[in-house]
Amino acid sequence: MAAPRKKDGKSEDRPRGNLKIARPEWVAVDGYFGDLLAPADGKLDAALEANQKAGLPAIDVSPLQGKFLHVLVQMMQPRRVLEIGTLGGYSTLWMARALPRGSRIVSLEFSQKHADVARANLKNAGVLNRVDLRVGPALDSLPILESSGVGPFDLVFIDADKRNNPEYLAWALKLSRPGTVILIDNVVRDGMVADATSTDPDIQGTRRMAEMLAAEPRLSATVVQNVGVKGYDGFALAVVLR
Ligand code: SAH
Ligand code: DHB
Ligand code: MG
């Protein structure tokens, strides 16, 4: 069994949100494929280290999930990407590195502290010029993006406060064009999403978002559950049809 990589060890000394610890075989398999497909990288690893030093929660995507975002961007060749929830810019960096020349990511972050760490990480990795980082509540920044005509976006990655997922999905749709891909992180949350009686506003937000995905005729959507170093979670994937 492959030993878990050092860079996964970061999770142990940073707060991890609500997610439970991953099963050892999930960690081993993430380590095995991660070593092959998302190997140690100076800039990405430095970003995680800086996040840890600054006390940011260890809720970045995993290395293989980051590589998923990277491959998605390579497949799509988007001109404009929207990310809601920057944290330390780890997912942003994975996407920025795959962007075609001249393309940009707008990334929205509530916390000035998180945004400062992200800016430093992106600068250190040489991709800050591809990222338009906007600080403040995303629900304040999104109308500004609309009124200033920054969209439409080709790819939207929703990964912020889950209670606002319905609003974020509505904005993603508003800022989309036919063919836009919308990816929403953390929709499974250790299986808690299946609990219709949950009073957790984040679970309720994700469930209402899922109902919107089902009801919206302009969207075709699915969910992929996943396990790994981050535990048991999943993402929703949707495409704008018209
Ligand atoms: N995408 C990142 C992880 C994001 S964690 C990665 O994978 O590397 C979620 C982030 O959303 C946190 O930094 C949090 O501060 C931010 N956030 C929470 N509420 C928000 C809001 N209302 N508007 C914008 N960002 C918010
Ligand atoms: C949490 C948020 C995330 O974006 C994530 O990937 C994992 C956990 C959280 O708020 O607990
Ligand atoms: Mg997430």
Residue 205 lies in a domain: yes
Number of domains in the chain: 1
Residue 54 lies in a domain: no
pTM for the full model? Answer: 0.94
The amino acid sitting at 171 is W
Q: Is the CB of 17 under 6 A from ligand 2?
A: yes
pLDDT, one tens digit for every residue, the chain (242 residues): 333 334 333 344 455 555 568 999 999 999 999 999 999 999 999 999 999 999 999 999 999 999 999 999 999 999 999 999 999 999 999 999 999 999 999 999 999 999 999 999 999 999 999 999 999 999 999 999 999 999 999 999 999 999 999 999 999 999 999 999 999 999 999 999 999 999 999 999 999 999 999 999 999 999 999 999 999 999 999 999 99
Q: Which range marks the domain in which residue 146 is found?
A: 63-240
Residue 46 lies in a domain: no
Residue 217 lies in a domain: yes
Q: Is 170 exposed, middle or buried (0-12, 13-18, 19+ CB in 10 A)?
A: middle
Residue 52 lies in a domain: no
Counting ligands in written order, which one lies closest to the CA of residue 160?
A: 1
Cβ–Cβ under 8 Å, residues 202 and 161: yes
Nearest to 164 by CA among 135, 138, 130: 138
Residue 122 lies in a domain: yes
Give the gyration radius of the chain's Cα atoms.
Answer: 17
Q: Is the CB of 161 under 6 A from ligand 1?
A: yes
CA distance 4 to 35: 9
CATH number for position 188:
3.40.50.150
Residue 199 lies in a domain: yes
Residue 188 lies in a domain: yes
Q: Is the CB of 114 under 6 A from ligand 1?
A: yes
